[in-house]
Amino acid sequence: MTGSLGRRLILRALWREKGRALLAMLSVALGVSVFLSIRLANRAAVASFEGFANGVGQGSDAVVRAEVGPLDEAALPRLDAIRDIAWVRPIIEGSFYRARSKEAFQILGTDLVGIGNSVDSAAPAQSGSAPDPSLQARFFESIQNSDAVMISGAFAKSDHLLPGAAIQGFVNERPVTLHVAGILLDAPGRPALQRNLLVMDLPAAQETLQRPGQLDRLELGVREGASPQQLDSGLRGMLPKNWVLEAPEQRASSGKTMTAAFRFNLTILSLIALAVGAYLLFQAFDASVNRRRETWATLHALGCEPARVLRFVMAEAALLGSLGSGLGIFLGWLLAQGSVRSISQTVAGLYGASSATHANLDPGEGLLAGAIGFLVCLLAAWIPARRAAHTPPVQLLARGGETKPTRWVLFTLTGLALTGAGATLAFLPTLPPGVAWHAYVASVLVLLGGSLASVGLMPLLGAPGTAARGWNARLALRPLRRPTGRHGFAAAALAVAVGMATGMGVMVQSFERTVQTWIGGNLRADLYLAPLGSVGAASQHRLPGALADELAADPAVLAADRFQMLPIHLRGQETLLGAGDFLVHAQYGHVAILGAEDAAPILLQMHRDGVAHVGAMASETFSRRFGVRVGDGMDIPTPDGLRHLSIRAIYADYGNERGSLIVDRPVFYQWFHDERCASVALYLKPGQDRALVAQRLGQRHAGLQVRSNADLREQVSFVFRQTFAITYALEIIGLAVALAGLVQALLGLAMARRGEIWTLRALGASEGEIAGVLLGEGLGVALAGTLGGLSIGLVLAQILVRVLNPQVFGWTLRFSLPWGFLALLLGLALFSATAALLPAARWAARLNADREAEEGA
């Protein structure tokens, strides 16, 4: 009985209202897919060496790095005793720029012979066949040629590369030709290898990168029978000076923090897409329950218990939620394939670290997204289900019950109170850096409160209706004065979507404006030179000191500022230590020092103090991460031991999230004996033609990229736009979802007014006039949602710009209101609403009276 009743009430109802069911399902699917795709794409984008390492052997249990600079391989035998319980995999990394395709590749050098020691010990017994001699030959090829490289299957396939093929490009600024010795196949069931990975045998990689005797890290894995704890305690006692054991949590987060700011934006957006979807689902279930109120009343009258009715509605929600989540997981995986390229390019552009091209469906991520979609669906159905279960039959059957006005005053007041609470929570407490839970909670409160308060805008917008002369204007605005739940949901959903778009938009614009101002102030040199393929702080390309000297001595050059950057471990965290020519910078350059108008005296003083009293500039992010202020002292690890410096200034820097500390170049040289530099900024003599000098230098040094000041600014803007391109795409998805809800609401409202429509037609109103009335009503809802959304967005933007960014990333952004963007958003929302509502209004205007009988069936 229950089964057949359930089938009749759920499956048949869904089948009869295919359109509604499909829309609800799509709402779930869309939210789930966006959420999932972002997470999958991010996973793929941040996976780099792990893919290769896991493909050939085991993942590591520990990583050893130098506190600063490279590891000296000569000290490796000090770890011999640990090899009783662990294997050790030495790694060197570098960059290769392929001239033909203008692509950056990551060179990964490891001991291709010793890597066999990390292969899973549960290897199968040998079969009777002898080893393939061609495999042996290829193996010899890979270790007995200094230019042999193994490439990913993806690269081999896309560029039709076979063993023996030459790959020409640059390492640092030197032309280098590598030869394909083998193709790395993806291991089944493991993440695909990134396309831009070039694996070389360790000594060949050291030679190619011109870093003899150096290693970047050691990866260690416990052997069978030993534990990671034994490894950890054993290692600590034998590590040479300057070598540090990276904490597991540090390792786990290193890949993630690299893209934290970026992921943060995307995750917030995907969750908001789900929130918008939740509103729509709520609306869909509410409409569905209302439409079948006669059914619920009959069931009540036949003695069906309220709990059973509740179960019917919830079962329907569960069914839609499951189908929608399943579809969402599939769509999410599809979307991830597209978005991973975008994310990966951005990550590579910003950090020079990743080049994933496709994302695998991670079961955990899929389940999480599906579960969220399913729960959101159940949550959205709960209130309508309760209404169906607990409303007395008489009330359910009462005509007009579905168009009962909502308690908009209560909603407005509650909404305003929640928004106020959110704003207070965000701005009042002063929490330590890194803590931002209050800002997240505040954002949710503002979104929720603002969307509720948007309902209160409708009576205000409907108020002119009483004074309107035309009957159609009066009829269009009348429903807004007493908005129903359906009006409310549509406006609230749109408010969330517009609010989200506004908030993110304002933040992005503020960010961009701030960065542009910063760049405008900081980039003063005429030409910027760096090895081809260098992008971002993490680039591993370096110019030899002699070449930098040669550039500085060019007759057209007035002054050269050589910049170098090294990753260092400080107080257990990874950060960057940079060096610049303070004297040149003071004379010709500019740096934005917080709390000081002119940086020159500070720079000059640091230059004069030299190595006797070393002074350094700390970036704002560094200052926040390490809790240091001007005047504080710090001990910096160098190959010769700890060296002391004092912080003389805090400067604005939006280039990286790890923070950086900059010292004068002579100090850096004395401490690290490193003449190389990552880039050189050239100030030309008066009268020199920048373009000509750039052309001349470019021709002379084929491995250098020579960019003018304008080029560099353009590149920074490009990277910036690229970073947020996907953000805008997601905002559009959110808006599209909200507009779909608006159309759904208008159709529902028209259904509710079908008696009125029929009367109007009987009185002689044309279809066009009736459509105009319905469109006016819909636009009123859209306007309320949009205005409400803009207000929400402005408050949200304040939280994002003034609280979240400084707290989470240490970036102080200047809040700037992009009026053009806001006007565009308003126009876009209303235009899209009109475009979406118009056909719906026309369709509704043609509704016949006999549809009533059909609907009631």
Contacts with other proteins, residue ranges (CB under 8 A): 73-74, 76-77, 80-85, 88, 111, 113-114, 116-117, 119, 121, 123-131, 136, 139-140, 143-146, 201-204, 206-207, 212-213, 223-226
- Supply the minimum distance, in Å, between the C-beta of residue 251 and other proteins: 23
- Supply the minimum distance, in Å, between the C-beta of residue 61 and other proteins: 15
- Supply the minimum distance, in Å, between the C-beta of residue 566 and other proteins: 23
HSE value, Cβ hemisphere, 13 Å, CA-based, for 140: 5
The two three-digit tokens of residue 95, written as one number: 């960059």
Query: Residue 681 region, left (φ>0) first, then alpha (ψ -120 to 50), else beta?
Result: beta
H-state helical runs in 152-226: 153-158, 202-208
The answer to whether 844 and 750 have CB atoms below 8 angstroms apart is: yes
**CB closer to other proteins, 60 vs 419:** 60
Task: Give the C-alpha separation, 96 to 664, whole Å.
Answer: 29
CA angle 273, 275, 279 (to 5 degrees): 115
- The pairing of strands 704-708 and 527-531 is antiparallel
For the chain, state the CA radius of gyration.
32
- Supply the minimum distance, in Å, between the C-beta of residue 198 and other proteins: 18
CA angle 108, 175, 107 (to 5 degrees): 5
**CB closer to other proteins, 125 vs 307:** 125
HSE value, Cβ hemisphere, 13 Å, CA-based, for 514: 20
The two three-digit tokens of residue 134, written as one number: 């061609």
**For the chain, how many residues are written?**
857
Task: Give the C-alpha separation, 187 to 190, whole Å.
Answer: 6
- Among the listed residues 697, 719, 720, the one whose alpha carbon sits nearest the alpha carbon of residue 708: 697
**CB closer to other proteins, 141 vs 769:** 141
CA angle 151, 152, 153 (to 5 degrees): 120
**CB closer to other proteins, 78 vs 407:** 78
The answer to whether 386 and 314 have CB atoms below 8 angstroms apart is: no
- Supply the minimum distance, in Å, between the C-beta of residue 221 and other proteins: 13
Tell me the sheet residues that pair with 716. none
- Supply the minimum distance, in Å, between the C-beta of residue 185 and other proteins: 18
**CB closer to other proteins, 81 vs 394:** 81
The two three-digit tokens of residue 327, written as one number: 């579809």
- Supply the minimum distance, in Å, between the C-beta of residue 115 and other proteins: 9
Q: What is the DSSP letter of 361?
A: -
Task: Give the C-alpha separation, 197 to 345, whole Å.
Answer: 15
- Supply the minimum distance, in Å, between the C-beta of residue 162 and other proteins: 21
Q: How far is residue 241 from each of residues 66, 172, 668, 808, measured CA to CA in Å?
A: 9, 29, 20, 33
**CB closer to other proteins, 19 vs 116:** 116
- Supply the minimum distance, in Å, between the C-beta of residue 150 and other proteins: 15
Q: Phi first, then psi: what are they for 571, rounded to 5°?
A: 45, 40
The two three-digit tokens of residue 400, written as one number: 């007009």
**CB closer to other proteins, 199 vs 439:** 199
- Supply the minimum distance, in Å, between the C-beta of residue 695 and other proteins: 38
- Supply the minimum distance, in Å, between the C-beta of residue 203 and other proteins: 4
- Supply the minimum distance, in Å, between the C-beta of residue 71 and other proteins: 12
**CB closer to other proteins, 68 vs 204:** 204
Strand 660-664: give its sheet, edge to edge.
Answer: 633-638, 641-651, 615-619, 660-664, 573-580, 557-570, 679-684, 527-531, 704-708
Task: Give the C-alpha separation, 750 to 175, whole Å.
Answer: 71
**CB closer to other proteins, 145 vs 406:** 145
- Among the listed residues 702, 719, 711, the one whose alpha carbon sits nearest the alpha carbon of residue 171: 702
- Supply the minimum distance, in Å, between the C-beta of residue 222 and other proteins: 10
**CB closer to other proteins, 84 vs 550:** 84
The answer to whether 452 and 493 have CB atoms below 8 angstroms apart is: no
- Supply the minimum distance, in Å, between the C-beta of residue 535 and other proteins: 30
- Among the listed residues 611, 587, 614, the one whose alpha carbon sits nearest the alpha carbon of residue 599: 587
Task: Give the C-alpha separation, 314 to 325, whole Å.
Answer: 16
**CB closer to other proteins, 130 vs 553:** 130
Report CA 194 to chain centroid distance, whole Å.
19
**CB closer to other proteins, 93 vs 286:** 93
Query: Could you tell me which residues come within 8 angstroms of residue 636 by beta carbon, excluding any fewer than 6 positions away?
Result: 68, 568, 570, 577, 642, 643, 644, 645, 661, 671
Query: Could you tell me which residues come within 8 angstroms of residue 176 by beta carbon, excluding any fewer than 6 positions away?
Result: 96, 147, 168, 169, 170, 208
Q: Phi first, then psi: what are they for 105, rounded to 5°?
A: -120, 155
- Supply the minimum distance, in Å, between the C-beta of residue 81 and other proteins: 6
**CB closer to other proteins, 223 vs 386:** 223
- Supply the minimum distance, in Å, between the C-beta of residue 40 and other proteins: 34
**CB closer to other proteins, 212 vs 555:** 212
The two three-digit tokens of residue 244, written as one number: 């540090």
- Supply the minimum distance, in Å, between the C-beta of residue 237 and other proteins: 15
Query: 767-798 and 471-481 helices cross at what angle (nearest 10)?
Result: 40
The answer to whether 300 and 47 have CB atoms below 8 angstroms apart is: no
The two three-digit tokens of residue 442, written as one number: 């505040």
**CB closer to other proteins, 125 vs 553:** 125
**CB closer to other proteins, 213 vs 429:** 213
The answer to whether 580 and 649 have CB atoms below 8 angstroms apart is: no
**CB closer to other proteins, 215 vs 600:** 215
- Supply the minimum distance, in Å, between the C-beta of residue 213 and other proteins: 7
Task: Give the C-alpha separation, 425 to 352, whole Å.
Answer: 38
Task: Give the burial class of 319: count Cβ atoms within 10 A of its Cβ; 0-12 exposed, 13-18 middle, 19 or more buried.
Answer: middle
**CB closer to other proteins, 206 vs 509:** 206
